[in-house]
Structure 1
Amino acid sequence: MSDAVATALREGVETPAYVYDLAEVRANQARLRAALPERCGHYYSLKANPHPHLLAALREGGARAEVCSPGELDAALAAGWPAHTLLYNGPGKRDADLVRALRLGVREFSVDSPHALDRLDAAARAESVRARCLLRINDDQPEPGQGLTMTGVTSQFGADVAWVLAEPTRFGDREHVEVVGLHLYMGTNLAGVDDLLAQFGRSLATAAKLRAEGFRVDVLDLGGGFGAPFGRAGGAVDLTGLREGLHDLLDEHAPGWRGGGPEVVFESGRYLVGTAGSLVTAVLDVKRSHGRDVVVLESGINHLGGMSGLRRLPPLNPTLVHPAAAVDAPVTPTVVTGPLCTPLDTWSRAAPLPPLRPGDLLAVPNVGAYGLSASLLAFLGHPCPAEAVVDGDRVVHTSRLALTRVPN
């Protein structure tokens, strides 16, 4: 049981509850900053977890914010990031959302096509402002080792290199939009430094090719992919050696980066907050069915598991939190389900668990990223779990999302 979970339970946080550890967020951010070259910035991707207290801690630690929806934009502004420092990303942006973002002061966007450039230009013209954008590039092929490949394949993300080189004028400036750099994000959740360096090396080589063809590269966003475990024990990827490797790659492919150009930035969500969250949930029922042990929990795919529909969720093997005496008991493969009225609500069909009783508590570790906000909260209408933020030895905030229908 983590110290943060112990603190939350000691202070009476009701289950089910997500428990977030601000000390772990700060430690992860310090590790990432130490692993990046000294002149490089980093964005926090709000899609990983938009909780206000996590956002505030990351902003205070020097992260910028990367958003890709009106809701994330509002969350970033509420957390204190100035609008002009945000990067508005995403392959599909409604005209109304572009206008609103510009009206609120956002000036930097990532765009994926000539049509996206035209729409941003029209929105900027309507607001009588000028915007800057990064042209997102879909590289020729993916690098191995990616948890989720986003470029190098047929994708909604970015413009293919061949297309950009064949029709360069279609990807140039507009009357109200300057194309100031490139955005290359090849994949997520890479398992180690060698995989990260291979990805960044390929992206830098592609950027150098486009720069040689006359494309402006004042800003170079190399994305992220910094890995962390999900729903299982362990720590974030060891980044030892990344800084030195990036120095070599940047010296080779982006000369001048040490002295003012281009500005190089990275993005991270999972690495920064993934290991900072646990879901604690109680056992509601225990039984035998067709010769197998089955436990029913008060949390299921409605509280953790929305990404399973996207084939991104592995079987979850929860850790027993209480009673402590049961931790050393012999374990047996156990079917772990939630309370929903569907057979799809199954976390694991063979979790190694000791004998359980109703009322025992289980914890799923390392779900600070893509946990509550990536789940099926509205499905079947069960209450949302609490969210408890722990800082040191005390709970500093608790809240619970409310699912209500608001009339027009």
Structure 2
Amino acid sequence: MIGHTELAKRFGTPAYVYDLDRVRAARRDLLAALPDAMHVFYAAKANPHPEILREMRGRGDRCRAEISSVGELAAALEAGFSGADILYTGPGKTDEELTEALAKGVRLFSVESPGDLRRVGAAAGRLGVVADCLLRVNSVSASATTSIRMTGVPSQFGFDSETLPALREEVTGVPGTNVAGLHFFPLSNAEDEASLIAEFRHTIEKAAELQERLGVRFRFVDIGGGFSAPYAVTGERPVYGGLREALGDALDTHFPGWRDGGPRIACESGRYLVGDSGTLLVGVVNVKESRGRRFVILDGGINTFGGMSGLGRILPVSVQPDEAVPGTGEPAMLVGPLCTPGDVLGRDVALVDPAPGDLLTVPNAGAYGVTASLLMFLGRPAPAEVVVRGPEVVSVSRIEHLRTYVHGQALR
């Protein structure tokens, strides 16, 4: 792979470098960790760059795309996914979005409520098609006691599992739709493989129970994700050695025909598949002292790497650059260029003699980077996104800020 220093000289900083060889390796490792009959939905929200999506698609048919907007739909289609390869999710799907997605061939939707289901059906009916819908489930109970919980509380996401059976008549008779199965997403970033396996077992058991209580033979069950990966710190993503057998056993118990497609089983992943493919390059602009603290001011901050700022899920941002040396050097605050004291990327980071003009590299930054940041705040240019494969630069691009007046002219 081309050196980061050379890429920074050629394309400037801040910049992201995405290594497609690492994307391919993560995709290979995850598919190998799953039973052969399972599919994977790549969560485009983790990184919707078309080159990443194209690599994720590969040449087989086991990796599909999970999207939540028409912007992600456009990126997935550009990358070569067909509408039939896509699962459309999200609690706020508008009539316009649904019409566009259906018109472009999307037929699989995750729905969060009876109203969401009716909206999908109405849009499908206007186009004379039928949409397959997965009822997203907000389980009342869970297995894993660690990791980031995604269910079990009042939420805009999913049907509450304890009330879903009573809605059978309401959800199975909506014109324009077929209830094809269920969609779960109980946790994110499982602490370890044992926690991940336990959660998947619990989900599979709950899916079988709901199938029986609803009296609907499912054709598709998405059991969610939870695959772990380091985020903006050094470390290796895990390889799951026991998951394949554990999933196969659980599915054989609760869905005996699943290996022949009755139902088809899928899981989903974002950060695991792309996290270690990305490196963030930032330049040191200034170093200053203030009341006994050292501040290293960078040319990219939370506008460049916001870590889903404000969403409360991956925050606080706490990067650990490759140049940080634990226990050596004077601790410093890593701050960005924005006019807010909240523009902090790292606290008490030990750097050896930082100086203006230095290059810092942040590892494991391939997920929730550019498009999960405060990109428009202060109108600073977006970082370059450099895609490489081995010694080759595949593409270099930058998201541009562009204001378009919807009626063709500004009001004066």
Q: TM-score range by the shorter chain?
A: over 0.9
- 1:331-370 aligned at under 5 Å gives the runs 331-370=329-368
Q: Distance in 1 between matches of 2:352 and 2:318?
A: 15
Contact 2:309 2:374 in 1 (8 A): no
Contact 2:182 2:221 in 1 (8 A): yes
The AA in structure 2 aligned to 1:210 is: L
Identical-residue share of aligned pairs (%): 47
Q: Distance in 2 between matches of 1:59 and 1:190?
A: 25
Q: TM-score, normalised by structure 1?
A: 0.94
Q: Distance in 2 between matches of 1:36 and 1:12?
A: 40
Contact 2:135 2:179 in 1 (8 A): yes
For residues 305-342 of structure 1, the C-alpha deviation after alignment (integer angstroms, 9 at most, x for no partner) is 15232222244244255xxxx97994121111101111
The AA in structure 2 aligned to 1:257 is: W
Whether 2:315 is the aligned partner of 1:313: answer: yes
Whether 2:407 is the aligned partner of 1:387: answer: no
Q: 2:155 aligns to what?
A: 155
Alpha-carbon deviation of 1:148? 2.7
Alpha-carbon deviation of 1:166? 2.1
Whether 2:211 is the aligned partner of 1:211: answer: yes
Q: Distance in 2 between matches of 1:316 and 1:340?
A: 17
- 1:248-327 aligned at under 5 Å gives the runs 248-311=249-312, 312-319=314-321
Contact 1:192 1:239 in 2 (8 A): no
Q: 1:175 aligns to what?
A: 175
SS for the counterpart of 2:360 is strand
Q: Unaligned 5+ residue runs, structure 2? A: 407-412
SS for the counterpart of 1:203 is helix
Q: 1:375 aligns to what?
A: 373
Contact 1:5 1:19 in 2 (8 A): no
Q: Distance in 2 between matches of 1:294 and 1:92?
A: 41
Q: Distance in 2 between matches of 1:61 and 1:268?
A: 18
Q: Measured at CA, do residues 65 and 4 of structure 1 come closer, stay the same or move farther in structure 2, by a change above 3 Å?
A: farther
The AA in structure 2 aligned to 1:379 is: F
Contact 1:5 1:278 in 2 (8 A): no
Alpha-carbon deviation of 1:252? 1.4
Q: Measured at CA, do residues 261 and 4 of structure 1 come closer, stay the same or move farther in structure 2, by a change above 3 Å?
A: farther
Q: 2:400 aligns to what?
A: 402
Q: Distance in 2 between matches of 1:141 and 1:328?
A: 40
Alpha-carbon deviation of 1:11? 7.2
Q: Measured at CA, do residues 205 and 8 of structure 1 come closer, stay the same or move farther in structure 2, by a change above 3 Å?
A: farther
Stretch moving more, 336-345 or 187-196:
187-196
Q: Distance in 2 between matches of 1:58 and 1:8?
A: 27
The AA in structure 2 aligned to 1:295 is: V
Contact 2:232 2:362 in 1 (8 A): yes
The AA in structure 2 aligned to 1:177 is: T
Alpha-carbon deviation of 1:91? 1.3
Alpha-carbon deviation of 1:145? 4.7
SS for the counterpart of 1:244 is helix
The AA in structure 1 aligned to 2:358 is: D
Q: Measured at CA, do residues 327 and 197 of structure 1 come closer, stay the same or move farther in structure 2, by a change above 3 Å?
A: closer
Q: Distance in 1 between matches of 2:393 and 2:293?
A: 38
Q: Measured at CA, do residues 352 and 68 of structure 1 come closer, stay the same or move farther in structure 2, by a change above 3 Å?
A: same
Q: Distance in 2 between matches of 1:194 and 1:217?
A: 27
Contact 1:141 1:152 in 2 (8 A): yes
Q: 1:23 aligns to what?
A: 21
Q: Distance in 2 between matches of 1:5 and 1:237?
A: 25
Q: Distance in 1 between matches of 2:56 and 2:343?
A: 33
Alpha-carbon deviation of 1:244? 1.1
Contact 1:7 1:393 in 2 (8 A): no
Q: 2:107 aligns to what?
A: 107
Contact 1:8 1:388 in 2 (8 A): no
Contact 1:316 1:351 in 2 (8 A): no
Q: Measured at CA, do residues 320 and 110 of structure 1 come closer, stay the same or move farther in structure 2, by a change above 3 Å?
A: closer
SS for the counterpart of 2:308 is helix
- 1:56-205 aligned at under 5 Å gives the runs 56-62=54-60, 63-145=63-145, 147-205=147-205
Whether 2:14 is the aligned partner of 1:12: answer: no
Q: TM-score, normalised by structure 2?
A: 0.93
SS for the counterpart of 1:271 is helix
Q: Distance in 1 between matches of 2:322 and 2:151?
A: 39
For residues 354-403 of structure 1, the C-alpha deviation after alignment (integer angstroms, 9 at most, x for no partner) is 11110001011111010111000000111111000110112111111111
For residues 191-246 of structure 1, the C-alpha deviation after alignment (integer angstroms, 9 at most, x for no partner) is 22111111111111111111222123111111111110111001112311111111
Contact 2:122 2:175 in 1 (8 A): no
CA RMSD of aligned residues (A): 1.8
The AA in structure 2 aligned to 1:224 is: G
Q: 2:410 aligns to what?
A: none
Q: Distance in 2 between matches of 1:50 and 1:29?
A: 15
Stretch moving more, 7-16 or 351-360:
7-16
* Count of matched residue positions in the alignment of Structure 1 and Structure 2: 402
SS for the counterpart of 1:117 is helix
The AA in structure 2 aligned to 1:24 is: R
Alpha-carbon deviation of 1:104? 1.4
Q: Distance in 2 between matches of 1:125 and 1:22?
A: 41
Q: Distance in 2 between matches of 1:202 and 1:341?
A: 47
Q: Measured at CA, do residues 54 and 8 of structure 1 come closer, stay the same or move farther in structure 2, by a change above 3 Å?
A: farther
Q: Unaligned 5+ residue runs, structure 1? A: none
The AA in structure 1 aligned to 2:243 is: L
Stretch moving more, 31-40 or 167-176:
167-176
